[in-house]
Copies of this chain bind each other. A is one copy, B any other.
């Protein structure tokens, strides 16, 4: 029978088809941690998605992800007429393929309620069927008992929050008080609600900043160049690339969000990322007044520098994986160039302030 759908077959036979290529998502590690690229929000035909669970694993592999969660809606099953509800079906179908592909598959489910509390993902669960019950707090409690990380999804989604402003309602505050809320989606799909406030909520309540695709259709049709070169991902700074390390890092709040050409996260993570990616070269020319040197960006994220210092370019865009040439005053042989990185958000209204040091041979 034709089983082209099982990508794994194609690859193991050594015939690498077009679809069997793993993309590199180039985002460097930071001191002490590996930078895992993760999507913790996706759907399949087992709720209102359009694809079979193995497609999600194949997409994750091709997209260069380290970890993926399939999080079908528990309470919303529009395909029920054709597919009987087994809340763990996607997990059962995908877990072996994920192992073959070396993708960390996080068992998850989406608790799907009106606002408040809205939608929440339970990640690292053991059994989704056990979360299918009426009382919301009992569901979260059951998930937490299974060791779940609870994520508040798209808090500014206008279908549930018409003004687009993310809010922590009393029910969310109650979850926080109990230690039952661990992260909030700063970015979802490609929505542009007032997500800047989320980062401050996370700072205040020590929650992880999350960003995910919430994909229902097909990834490659949803994130198309030139506008979108990759799906939104949560970067997780883990001690190593294992399920346990991933989980530890998330509960510890070591995350950032990379969506389109933007990054968002606390400075303690985005600062080291910038410094790992951006390197000035030794000046190759010195005319006594100015130095000429290259600045390279070793990442897939363009860096948009603004507010440059005197005697240096005021604005400087460092294209992804490329170098630019810079001419600057000789004073920068002994002091760093300081810029605002306008596409790295560190808080509500604040962006990363970064230093670039020109090395002397």
Contacts and interface: CB of A to CB of B under 8 A. Distances in A.
A282 to B, nearest CB: 10
Interface in A77-107: 78-79, 82-84, 86, 89, 93, 99-102
Given A14-B308, A14-B313, A55-B217, A1 B48 contact: yes
Interface string A1-45: 111110110011111101111111000000000000000000101
Given A313-B14, A323-B24, A51 B52 contact: yes
A191 B228 CA distance: 26
A347 interface: no
Nearest to A314: B14
A contact residues, range: 35 or more
| Number of copies of this protein chain within its complex | 4
A163 B316 CA distance: 23
A175 interface: no
A102 B284 contact: yes
B315 A2 contact: no
A317 interface: yes
A14 B310 CA distance: 12
A50 interface: yes
A322 to B, nearest CB: 5
Interface of A: 1-5, 7-8, 11-16, 18-24, 43, 45-46, 48-52, 54-55, 58, 61, 73, 76, 78-79, 82-84, 86, 89, 93, 99-102, 112, 159, 189, 214, 216-218, 220-222, 224-228, 284-285, 292, 294, 308, 312-317, 319, 321-327
22 contacts: A1-B73, A1-B78, A2-B43, A2-B216, A4-B222, A5-B49, A14-B308, A14-B316, A15-B315, A19-B217, A19-B222, A21-B322, A23-B322, A24-B323, A50-B55, A52-B79, A55-B217, A82-B86, A99-B285, A100-B292, A102-B285, A220-B220
7 nearest A-B pairs in the assembled complex, by CB-CB distance: A14-B313, A226-B226, A12-B327, A5-B50, A102-B284, A5-B216, A22-B323
